[in-house]
DNA sequence: TATTAAATTATAATCATTCTAATATAAAAA
DNA sequence: TTTTTATATTAGAATGATTATAATTTAATA
């Protein structure tokens, strides 16, 4: 399903800015910051403003179209909400998707068995931190 | 082991500021921000500066005395490095420790078996996100 | 004691994000 | 089609966490 349909489905008015932001999020794999998105879109959409990117991301987050990824260097990164997956954080800033159904099940089952009342599946995240060689 | 011994052990000069920061981190359970630490210490140590708190935290981090906890609201929280544990993030900002040996082992074994070359134990974190009732 | 280095402090700078008010665009009403 | 109203975007200011800079204090060394 393409960006336009997704916006319609969520009753979000499909402005050109929103379509472009969503398209970029759907197709890129870098887990961009708001600034990254803005920089990328300026090429094809020179009039877009950084404010709009922030506004749009807030709107998308409310509708669960994107997830915020926490980082420890004070910048929020965004991830298009597709099927459940985890993330590998590299020390150079790269964030990589990590998909593993078997691990999903393992963890789901474990929490359902041991903490059935506290947590539901989607609340649990696995974060993998890897140091790049250069960074000692 | 108390704060003073830990600093000696890591060859960090035991200034009053460093001792107090470390003691607070060791004893409190709120996973404080730099500002939280500063506010708390001002009572018993009125001359301490926020700069020092930041400097000290950087120093502690280099020596693996503390870990940074990522958050999605642009403030870094600090955690004294004790035995391996995970964290529950509540939507109201509280961060709670979550210790579970069985889960540690489960995850360790799984990664050792399936991704032995990519990851080592301590790189893997489990983050649990829970919405407080009020927050809809 | 004099000299040097290290740590702390006050303060300014940076930078990601949010807020505010103005403008533009689209939808609804007349 | 015009007028009105609501919504979205924009530019720019404000905020707030963190980092950088330079001065001062403290501790260590000669
Ligand atoms: Mn910041
Ligand atoms: Mn900030
Ligand atoms: Zn992802
Ligand atoms: Zn903790």
Complete DSSP assignment for B16-79: HHHHHHHHHHHH--S--BHHHHHHHHHHH-TT--HHHHHHHHHHHHHTTSEEEE-BSSS--EEE
CATH class of this structure's domain B83-136: alpha beta
B74 torsion bin: left (phi>0), alpha (psi -120 to 50), beta (else) = left
CATH topology of domain B1-81: Arc Repressor Mutant, subunit A (1.10.10)
Phi first, then psi: give them for residue A30, nearest 5 degrees: -90, -5
Residue A22: name the closest of A81, A97, A98 by CA: A81
What residue ranges of chain A are covered by domains with CATH 1.10.10.10?
1-81
CA of B46, C1' of C10: distance in angstroms: 14
Torsional sign, CA A91, A95, A96, A101: positive
Q: With 80 as the cut, is the pLDDT of residue B41 above it? A: yes
Strand C bases near protein CB (under 7 Å) are 6-11, 16-20, 26-27
Question: Does strand D come within 7 Å of the CB of B70?
Answer: no
> Residue B43: pLDDT above 70?
yes
pTM: 0.90
- The chain-wide mean pLDDT, for chain B, equals 92
Q: Where in chain A is the domain with CATH 3.30.1490?
A: 83-136
Instruction: Give the pLDDT score at A13.
Output: 95
CB of residue B51 closer than 7 A to nucleic acid strand C?
yes
Quick one: pLDDT band at residue A136, thresholds 50, 70, 90?
very low
Which nucleotides on chain D have any atom < 7 A from a protein Cβ? 7-12, 16-21, 27-28
**A51-108 per-position pLDDT tens digit:** 999 999 999 999 999 999 999 888 999 999 888 999 999 988 999 999 999 999 999 9
* A117 pLDDT tier (thresholds 50, 70, 90): confident
Q: For residue range A39-48, list pLDDT tens digits in order.
A: 999 999 999 9
State whether B118 and A130 contact (CB < 8 Å). Answer: yes
pLDDT at B133: 65
pLDDT tens-digit series, residues B73-127? 889 999 998 889 999 999 889 999 999 999 999 999 999 999 988 877 778 888 9
Q: Is A64 on the interface with B (CB under 8 A)?
A: no
- B69 to chain A, closest Cα gap in Å: 7
Alpha-carbon span A36 to B135, nearest angstrom: 30
Q: Which residues of B touch A102 (CB under 8 A)?
A: 110, 114
State the SS3 of chain A. Answer: CCHHHHHHHCCCCCCHHHHHHHHHHHHCCCCCEHHHHHHHHHHHCCCCCHHHHHHHHHHHHHCCCEEEECECCCCCEEEECCCCCEEEEECCCCEEEECCHHHHHHHHHHHHHHCCCCCCHHHEEEEEEECCHHHC
Q: Is the CB of B58 under 7 A from strand D?
A: yes
- Average pLDDT of chain A? 92
Residues of B in contact with A125 (CB under 8 A): 126-129
pLDDT the model gives residue B136: 44
Closest of B101, B103, B95 to residue B75, by C-alpha: B95
Among B68, B70, B119, beta carbon nearest to A130:
B119
Give me the pLDDT at residue B119, please: 76
Whether B14 sits with its Cβ under 7 A from any strand C atom: the answer reads no
In the structure, what pLDDT confidence band is assigned to residue B132 with cuts at 50, 70 and 90? confident
Name the one residue in this structure whose structure tokens are 């830990």.
B6
């Amino acid at each position: 399903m393409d960006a336009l349909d997704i916006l319609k489905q969520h009753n979000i008015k499909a402005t050109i800015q929103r379509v472009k932001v969503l398209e970029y999020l759907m197709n890129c794999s870098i887990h961009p910051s708001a600034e990254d998105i803005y920089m990328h879109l300026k090429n094809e959409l020179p009039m877009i403003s950084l404010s709009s990117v922030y506004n749009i991301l807030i709107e998308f987050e409310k509708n669960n179209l994107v997830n915020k990824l926490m980082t420890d260097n004070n910048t929020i990164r965004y991830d298009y909400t597709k099927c459940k997956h985890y993330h590998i954080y590299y020390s150079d800033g790269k964030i990589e998707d990590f998909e593993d159904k078997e691990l999903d099940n393992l963890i789901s089952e474990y929490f359902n068995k041991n903490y059935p009342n506290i947590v539901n599946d989607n609340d649990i995240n696995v974060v993998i931190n890897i140091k790049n060689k250069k960074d000692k």
